[in-house]
Chains A and B, each alone.
Chain A
Amino acid sequence: MGAPESCPGCGSEVFAGEAFCEACGRSLTGEPVPAPNGACAECGSTSFSEDGYCEGCGALRPGDRDHIETEAGVAAGVTDRGLRHSRNEDAMALTVAGEGIAAVVCDGVSTSPLPQAASQAAADTGLKTLTERLAAGDDPETATRTALTRAVEAVTALAESPHDAPACTYVSAYAGPSGVTIGWVGDSRAYWLAGDASRQLTADDSWAAEMVAHGALTEAEAQAHPNAHAIVAWLGADAGEIEQHITAFVPEGPGTLLLCSDGLWNYYPEATRLASILPAADPLTGARHLVRLALDAGGRDNITVVVIPFTQEHAQ
């Protein structure tokens, strides 16, 4: 046991080598103190407000969403808080759906209240509805539309008033035997990655995309503009009429379907570039690698990556 020092949290005497302060429970190693029963890692309080802050010391609840890795069948997803944000407001959900894979990625709008609740509700509701409708025999496009509608309702229901409306983006994918169906609102993206045939499948509901679409600015000019990331459509009680975007295609050969939030595509927007940096490895390794690259590039936003390999068996 070393010489006494003082706890950076409460000033109590602590000794070198101790893992946490006996007085206030703060971690002295930088590692979070394992908290029993979801208690606060810093002060041990077990009360948290609805938005996740400890009612004793104000620290965020030990983050179960800081970094999540999920696998479903042949697919995998990774979501990460990034380096600059206090919490992860992205959410993802993926599952095996019949003979295919269904997945949803949502990005909570930071300027709205409870963005993390909005993205989680949209992802969970969207995926549940998508798989239920597919199992009930709906065609993928109808199922995708219904899922998006239910996700909108789930996020809208979170709002106490239109002035206090949680909001998020949404992109869903179903990769099944007959092809790929994508549905989206906002600026979370889907890409088809297959060498030179790689392409972006979604078109952002963003200010930048509108400027480019109207020929007012070039892609580079639009992305460099301060408004570039302003989204013009989202899920939420204050969203007004929402236009659902749906696209479907049948791949001509094997490739990878990628869903991601802007935490990734901010740094790697081009489809061919994404295809070249995605390692030829299992989907979880691939998703982790892309998240790592986004973190290395600055990690300014939350990062979510879902990787769905599309093999010849799918396309049979």
Chain B
Amino acid sequence: MSEQPDFSIRVDQNKYLPQGGQEVHAIVTVESTGAPVGAGTGASAAEVIIIDTSGSMDYPRNKMISAVKAAQAAVDTLRDGVKFAVVSGSSRATMVYPRAEELIPANAQTRAEAKAALSRLTATGGTAMGAWLSLAGRLFAKHPEGIRHAILLTDGKNQHETPEQLDQAVAAAVGRFVCDCRGVGTDWEVAELRKVASALLGSLDMVASPEALEADFRAMTEAAMGKAVADVALRVWTPQNAKLRFVKQVLPSMEDLTGRRTDVDERSGDYPLGAWGTESRDYHISVEVPPGVVGERAKRVAWVRLMLGDQVVSSGNVLAEWTEDEAQSTRINPKVAHYTGQAELAENIQVGLQARKDGDLDTATARLGRAVALAHESGNEAIAGLLGKVVDVDDPATGRVRLKKDVDKADEMSLDTRSTKTVRTRRGEG
């Protein structure tokens, strides 16, 4: 009876390797179509909204007011029957609605009650995100099937727990729910929140002005309501004597999944891809294989299968064939080249911004300049625009830049936060 989307897998690669060649790269595009749309359809879903209510949310006062409005908008977006809860986070986590530690089905009455409870919130206390996530985990534990999505909003650093406490809480939450994270203002830590969003397969973004929160919360909740299946996994088989170098999500954002593997058997492992609606994501897979014999038929060096539970819903092959024809073996697949560039772009931004903070201006100039060139070359206009607020660009093609003297903290954080956002190839190669 479940209405699940149709999944397809496409593999883009150059299968030809030179004699002695061992490294194979491929871009795997996973696409889902025909997911049910609109309210009242789709998989059963649970939603937990976590609002930072630490004392700093009152400075300026409009942060708290906007956060409450945003959470109310999110509550309004929940379709009937979705089980939900609202949690307030400070040095500890507290149920805002319902009062008991449980999820409650959304309907006109519960939505109104939740919004009323939100309007009574006050800001006080510190920030302990691990405790917030732990409460969300306990709530979702009673709803283990279907879509499980949380929104976490914070305005500050995780000051009232040790980093180890946060790590433990995050580790305990992995696989239990997907969590989109949002930072508001400029006092939160990009790297810290990125760690949480990344581990919980969610997005990370910065909402510079409190007023923009409402639209963002509504969009996140709508996206969660649009998911049709939870817990999709990519199963990757590699042959004996081969080494899987990495598995990365490369679109819509850079996310290294290599360490997320759960072994299935001697040659296969599952990589969690979270919940899916109607969408398309790209993955970069690299395998190291023993060199093959020139002239022999192509071998499968990775077998990628999309799993819904135990069911294979689509599959694709990454191949390798050894040749003496250099024209064939030296050609780099355009998609592989593109996403290799996008990975380099993200790395250069993060290293460049850190160098700038550390006062190493030569490294910062070189790295951010390289990032400008890569963003220009790949047509990543969004990142190019953000880079333009941190450096003055003399020549985008070669990446000749000068660091700006005065940079708005919000602009710098925004660039850092969005450094991993990628674009598809400009031309429709493939």
Determine whether B188 belongs to the interface, using a CB cutoff of 8 Å to chain A: no
Q: How many A-B residue pairs have CB under 8 A?
A: 55
Are A30 and B297 neighbours in the complex by a CB distance under 8 Å? no
Are A53 and B297 neighbours in the complex by a CB distance under 8 Å? no
Are B8 and A58 neighbours in the complex by a CB distance under 8 Å? no
Segment at the interface with A among B76-84, B163-171, B313-321, B402-410: B313-321
Are A163 and B6 neighbours in the complex by a CB distance under 8 Å? yes
Question: Given that A58-B301, A163-B8 are known contacts, is A51 also in contact with B317, CB under 8 Å in the complex?
Answer: yes
With an 8 Å Cβ cutoff, the count of chain A residues facing the other chain is 23
Determine whether A216 belongs to the interface, using a CB cutoff of 8 Å to chain B: no
Determine whether A293 belongs to the interface, using a CB cutoff of 8 Å to chain B: no
Select which of A11, A54, A63, A86 is within 8 A of B319 by beta carbon.
A86
Determine whether A161 belongs to the interface, using a CB cutoff of 8 Å to chain B: yes
Min CB gap A200→B, angstroms: 32
Measured CB to CB, the nearest residue on chain A to B319 is A86
Measured CB to CB, the nearest residue on chain B to A83 is B295
Are A57 and B298 neighbours in the complex by a CB distance under 8 Å? no
Are A58 and B299 neighbours in the complex by a CB distance under 8 Å? yes
Are B314 and A57 neighbours in the complex by a CB distance under 8 Å? no
Select which of B6, B267, B317 is within 8 A of A53 by beta carbon.
B317
Measured CB to CB, the nearest residue on chain B to A113 is B315
Q: In chain B between 1 and 41, which residues have their CB closer than 8 angstroms to a CB of chain A?
A: 6, 8, 33
Contact with B along A157-178 (1 / 0, CB 8 A): 0000101100000000000000
Are B317 and A59 neighbours in the complex by a CB distance under 8 Å? no
Q: In chain B between 297 and 339, which residues have their CB closer than 8 angstroms to a CB of chain A?
A: 297-301, 303, 314, 317, 319, 321
Residues on B facing A (Cβ under 8 Å): 6, 8, 33, 237, 239-242, 267, 290-293, 295, 297-301, 303, 314, 317, 319, 321
Are B303 and A49 neighbours in the complex by a CB distance under 8 Å? yes
User: Can you list 22 A-B contacts with CB-CB less than 8 angstroms, sorted by A residue number?
Assistant: A8-B290, A8-B291, A8-B292, A9-B241, A30-B293, A43-B240, A53-B299, A53-B303, A54-B239, A54-B300, A57-B239, A58-B300, A59-B297, A60-B297, A60-B298, A60-B300, A63-B297, A86-B297, A86-B298, A86-B319, A163-B8, A164-B314
Measured CB to CB, the nearest residue on chain A to B305 is A49
Residues on A facing B (Cβ under 8 Å): 8-11, 30, 43, 49, 51, 53-60, 63, 81, 86-87, 161, 163-164
Are A56 and B239 neighbours in the complex by a CB distance under 8 Å? yes
Are A60 and B303 neighbours in the complex by a CB distance under 8 Å? no
Are A59 and B293 neighbours in the complex by a CB distance under 8 Å? no
Min CB gap A22→B, angstroms: 16
Measured CB to CB, the nearest residue on chain B to A56 is B240
Min CB gap B19→A, angstroms: 10
Are B290 and A9 neighbours in the complex by a CB distance under 8 Å? yes
Are A86 and B314 neighbours in the complex by a CB distance under 8 Å? no
In the complex, what residues of B have CB within 8 A of residue A51's CB? 317
Measured CB to CB, the nearest residue on chain B to A87 is B297
Measured CB to CB, the nearest residue on chain A to B242 is A58
Min CB gap B54→A, angstroms: 48
Min CB gap A302→B, angstroms: 13
Measured CB to CB, the nearest residue on chain B to A81 is B297
Rounded to whole angstroms, the CA-CA distance of A164 and B242 in the bound complex is: 29
In the complex, what residues of B have CB within 8 A of residue A163's CB? 6, 8, 33
11 additional A-B pairs beyond A9-B290, A53-B303, beta carbons within 8 Å, are A8-B290, A8-B292, A8-B293, A11-B290, A54-B239, A57-B240, A81-B297, A86-B297, A86-B319, A86-B321, A87-B297
